[in-house]
Amino acid sequence: MPEAQLTRTSYLKYAFKDQHNLVLLFGAGCFSLAFATKTPLFVAASAELLWLVVGPRLPAFRGWVDSRITSEYLARAEAAIEVALGELSESDANRFRALSRNAAELLASARTRFAASEVQRAVHGLLELRRTFLDYLFLGQRVAALADTTSIADREREAAELQQSYRAERELTTRMTIRNSLSALQLRISQQTALGTVSRNVELHLEMLEAAVPYLSGRLADPAFELFGQEIDNALADLGPADTLEAKVDEIFEQAPTNAAR
């Protein structure tokens, strides 16, 4: 979890909202009313203040809070992932689920070997790996939607015919019309060629993410292997986020037509 989410403020908030404290204060208030004395309420309030000072510093209490924050965070993340899967094709959704099953098996093996702190880091690392995989799946879906149904070879033949017509034509208005059509077509060819490169890169990243889980499983077989969470982080850093290729797609379609005809 990000360190900012595990600050003393968070621990203090959880210490104050702990149901045992609230029950104690409520019970003390009832005793005070029943016996017409402030002593029970005063004692309970003093104990509550002492707890708020000491409790957030206790390692056991901090561990409980960390575990609760992590569980809530992971539950929200999994719910968001399930919603996102509904927007993917069935084949892509199944591909993601297969990766998730492999990641769960990997984590189960890691739990038998590593300390709780290292396992927790691995939990978040594998979640980030799955979300990165999901990002690339969505990018691949976007690229597929932008891909031209007409092959580049057919487009190039069409461009060659327009080039010949442009050279043969002598009427100025017709030449300008052909030239504009040729420029637009050549831009389209350029965009589709670049888009094809992005598509191949997306698939390469997806395959590398899928291969990362078996690789990490193999690393677990090494008795000297200790930094499991760090290894996951390194794998993600090597692959990089989908944002870079996403920006490349945006850049492709921001190109302005050029006067390609000569």
- pLDDT tens digit string along 109-154? 888 888 877 888 888 899 999 999 999 999 999 999 998 887 888 8
CA distance 5 to 65: 11
pLDDT > 80? residue 215: yes
Between 126 and 71, the more confident residue is: 126
Phi, psi torsion values for 127, nearest 5 degrees: -65, -45
Query: By CB neighbour count within 10 A (0-12 exposed, 13-18 middle, 19+ buried), where does 16 fall?
Result: middle
Highest mean pLDDT: which range of 8-12, 84-88, 175-179: 84-88
pLDDT > 80? residue 179: yes
pLDDT > 90? residue 261: no
- Taking the model in full, what pTM does it have? 0.73
Half-sphere exposure of 251 (CA within 13 A, CB side): 8
Q: 37: Cβ–Cβ under 8 A, 6 or more apart, which residues?
A: none
pLDDT > 70? residue 28: no
Which of helix, strand or coil describes residue 204? helix
- So what's the pLDDT on residue 35? 59
Amino acid, single-letter form, for residue 98: A
CB 134 within 8 A of CB 96: yes
Provide the 8-state DSSP code for 113: T
* pLDDT (tens digit per residue) in 29-55: 665 656 566 666 555 566 666 656 666
Between 236 and 57, the more confident residue is: 236
* pLDDT (tens digit per residue) in 74-114: 889 889 999 999 999 999 999 999 999 999 999 888 888 88
CA distance 226 to 138: 34
CB 152 within 8 A of CB 189: yes
Provide the 8-state DSSP code for 47: H
Mean pLDDT of 63-82: 81
Which of helix, strand or coil describes residue 40? helix
**Domains of the chain, residue spans:** 1-75, 86-262
- So what's the pLDDT on residue 262? 44
CB 120 within 8 A of CB 139: no
Which of helix, strand or coil describes residue 134? helix
